[in-house]
């Protein structure tokens, strides 16, 4: 995952509030420590999970933790959903260095249902792809360039 500073920088560039960004960063990375989310899961999680299991779609079932987070932030409003998708895409860019930003956006779109917030993220990432990818992957690239291969 990129550092919180990277998440904060890009959320600020999108015009998202610091309060919402902090909340979503904490939810995404420490969902089991987010009391409000835990209460949501206790209250509504079972029914959401049962609906997903009834689809018999294994790929959908594997998305349950992220899907629960998305359903939770939907109840909080559009800005939370936008911040959540931004956090998700930035993490994905960091974790999948072999994929382009465009490929990550396509896969994200395939995983989650279309919505205006995801469209907003797609436009934003496409407009800022080069710098955004560099920020998310900077540490990976600097680590790779500092590793020396020593042969016996």
Q: What is the pLDDT of residues 56-79, one digit of tens each?
A: 666 767 778 888 999 999 999 999
Q: Is the CA virtual torsion 25, 30, 36, 37 positive or negative?
A: positive
Question: Residue 143: what pLDDT?
Answer: 41
Nearest to 79 by CA among 120, 111, 39, 107: 120
Range of the domain at 31: 4-146
Nearest to 135 by CA among 92, 90, 88, 89: 90
The set of residues, in sequence order, having a beta carbon less than 8 Å from that of 61 and lying 6+ positions away, is 52, 53, 55
Average pLDDT of every residue of the chain = 87
CA gap 54, 57 in Å, rounded = 8
Q: Is the CA virtual torsion 77, 83, 86, 88 positive or negative?
A: negative
> Considering the entire predicted model, what is its pTM?
0.83
Question: Residue 64: what pLDDT?
Answer: 82
Neighbours of 96 (CB within 10 A): 14
Mean pLDDT along residues 19-45: 93
- The answer as to whether 83 is a domain residue is yes
Mean pLDDT along residues 19-29: 94
Neighbours of 110 (CB within 10 A): 8
- The answer as to whether 152 is a domain residue is no
- Tokens 């560039």 sit at which residue? 13
Give the chain's radius of gyration (CA, Å).
17
Mean pLDDT along residues 91-118: 92
- The answer as to whether 151 is a domain residue is no
Mean pLDDT along residues 1-16: 91
Tokens of 123: 């436009």
pLDDT above 60 (res 148) = no
Question: Residue 139: what pLDDT?
Answer: 57
How many domains is the chain built from? Answer: 1
Give the up-direction half-sphere exposure of residue 9: CA atoms within 13 A in the CB hemisphere: 13
Q: Choose between 60 and 51: higher pLDDT.
A: 51
Size of the chain in residues: 152
pLDDT above 90 (res 2) = no
């Amino acid at each position: 995952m990129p550092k919180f500073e990277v998440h904060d920088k890009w959320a600020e560039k999108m015009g998202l509030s610091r309060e919402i960004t902090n909340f979503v960063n904490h939810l995404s990375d420490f969902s089991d420590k987010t009391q409000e989310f835990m209460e949501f899961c206790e209250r509504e999680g079972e029914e959401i999970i049962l609906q997903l299991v009834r689809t018999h779609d294994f790929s959908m079932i594997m998305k349950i933790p992220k899907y629960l987070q998305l359903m939770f932030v939907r109840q909080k409003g559009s800005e939370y959903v936008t911040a959540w998708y931004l956090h998700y895409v930035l993490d994905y860019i960091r974790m999948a260095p072999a994929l382009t930003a465009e490929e990550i956006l396509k896969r994200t779109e395939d995983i989650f249902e279309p919505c205006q917030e995801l469209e907003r993220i797609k436009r934003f990432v496409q407009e800022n792809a080069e710098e955004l990818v560099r920020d998310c992957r900077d540490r990976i690239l600097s680590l790779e360039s500092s590793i020396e291969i020593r042969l016996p």
